[in-house]
Amino acid sequence: MKNKKYKEKYSKKTSKKPIKNKKLVDKKWIITISIVTFLISLFFSFLGEVIIPNAHIIISFLLIITFILLGIIFDMIGISVTVADIKTFNSMATKRVRGAHLAVKFIKNSEKVSSFCNDVIGDICGIISGSTGITIALVISDLTNINSLIITLLVTAIIASLTIGGKAIGKSFAINKSNTILYKFVLFLSFFYKK
């Protein structure tokens, strides 16, 4: 009998609260991010397939290092946005600190910002650096007459270790210095962004 009264009392309390119907899938965001990913991939692939094979070997290596660094930096930004303290940036926004309002906007949309930074830019940079690494490996193989399989394995292993090692260092740095990283990023963006 007591259980029945408890259940009735409990069900009355919980039934008073309206249940929010949260949208689980944002179709507009998925379509937008897919199109943006396609365009960025196309641009980076063009750089990787057209410019690198015809460029000097040193320039090609510098481009691969740039792709790796871009992937690491955007990975750090994506993590910083999810970890950053919104109270700090709300306080800065009330004092009209440049870029603070943009940081608040990013934190409120952290799942989209981190998806763009980590998945779109980070993953595309990883894929493009790997594919351009293979192109460079074939060029080195032609220049040195060393077996292309050996060169390809070495180059891809170096690229993978630099990317994964760099992201591992970047992740711990982003978690510990999230507010600083996000602030510097939004400060840079604030010169191009208007409310």
Residues 127-151 pLDDT 10s: 888 888 888 888 888 888 888 889 9
* Residue 141 near residue 69, CB atoms below 8 Å: no
The pTM is what?
Answer: 0.76
Residue 131 makes CB contacts below 8 A (sequence gap 6+) with: 45, 48, 49
Number of domains in the chain: 1
Mind listing the pLDDT tens digit for each residue in 70-122?
999 999 999 999 999 999 999 998 998 888 899 999 999 988 899 889 888 88
- The per-residue pLDDT for 177 is 93
Asked whether residue 111 is assigned to any structural domain, the reply reads yes
65 within some domain: yes
Euclidean distance between CA atoms 148 and 96, whole angstroms: 57
Is 55 strand, coil or helix? coil
Q: What pLDDT, on the 0 to 100 scale, is given for residue 48?
A: 65
Name the least confident of 73-77, 126-130, 154-158, 160-164. 126-130
Q: Are 117 and 82 in contact (CB under 8 A)?
A: no
pLDDT band at 14 (very low <50, low <70, confident <90, very high): very low
Range of the domain at 124: 28-189
Residue 143 resides in a domain: yes
Q: Is residue 46 included in any domain, yes or no?
A: yes
In a domain, 33, yes or no: yes
Residue of higher predicted confidence among 173 and 2? 173
163: tokens are 């990317």
For residue 2, being part of any structural domain is answered with: no
